[in-house]
């Protein structure tokens, strides 16, 4: 399957029609929130949403949990591997959200993550999904600059 969606940082888009931001700056050695919009290019059924920073390693940022600020009240506003059986972190540090969701072409879906930054540097946030057709190509292009 080709790339099923495009991505950009939600908090960096200030008004409708403004450029979609693919770069964000975060402070080093802190917890921070990032909000990501995914605009669907294809209608598909999603079974696993996977997010990971590269280059992977002990100094790269780590995703700790979901904290979706798009919602003011929702049972799924916050979740982590310790509070939700559908959330997990792989041995390589990839954050997985399992669950069957229908995604519709042209629609925008927001996901928020709480991350822990470490050393300064530029890291890429890669988003992947598993669909009814199998693994889709990773969606790259989101840069996190840790200062």
Q: What is the pLDDT of residue 1?
A: 62
Cis before 127? omega within 30: no
User: Are the C-beta atoms of residues 6 and 109 closer than 8 Å to each other?
Assistant: no
Q: What is the pTM of this model?
A: 0.86
| Token pair 């920073």 in the structure block, residue | 53
Nearest residue to 95 (alpha-carbon basis) of 143, 127, 121: 127
Q: What is the pLDDT of residue 102?
A: 96
pLDDT, one tens digit for every residue, the chain (147 residues): 678 899 999 875 444 555 578 999 999 999 999 999 999 999 999 999 999 999 888 899 999 998 876 655 555 667 888 888 999 999 989 999 999 999 999 999 989 999 999 999 999 999 999 998 888 888 888 999 999
Task: Name the superfamily (CATH) of residues 5-146.
Answer: Immunoglobulins (2.60.40.10)
């Amino acid at each position: 399957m080709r790339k099923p969606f495009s991505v950009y940082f939600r908090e960096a888009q200030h008004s409708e029609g403004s450029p979609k931001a693919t770069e964000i700056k975060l402070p080093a050695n802190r917890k921070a929130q990032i909000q990501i919009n995914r605009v669907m290019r294809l209608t598909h059924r999603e079974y696993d949403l996977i997010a990971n920073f590269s280059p992977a390693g002990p100094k790269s940022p780590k995703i700790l949990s979901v904290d979706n600020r798009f919602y003011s009240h929702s049972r799924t506003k916050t979740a982590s591997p310790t509070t939700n059986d559908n959330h997990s972190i792989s041995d390589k540090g990839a954050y997985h959200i399992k669950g069957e969701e229908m995604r519709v072409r042209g629609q925008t879906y927001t996901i928020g993550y709480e991350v822990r930054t470490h050393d300064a540097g530029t890291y890429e946030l890669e988003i992947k999904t598993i669909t009814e057709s199998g693994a889709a190509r990773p969606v790259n292009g989101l840069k996190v600059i840790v200062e």
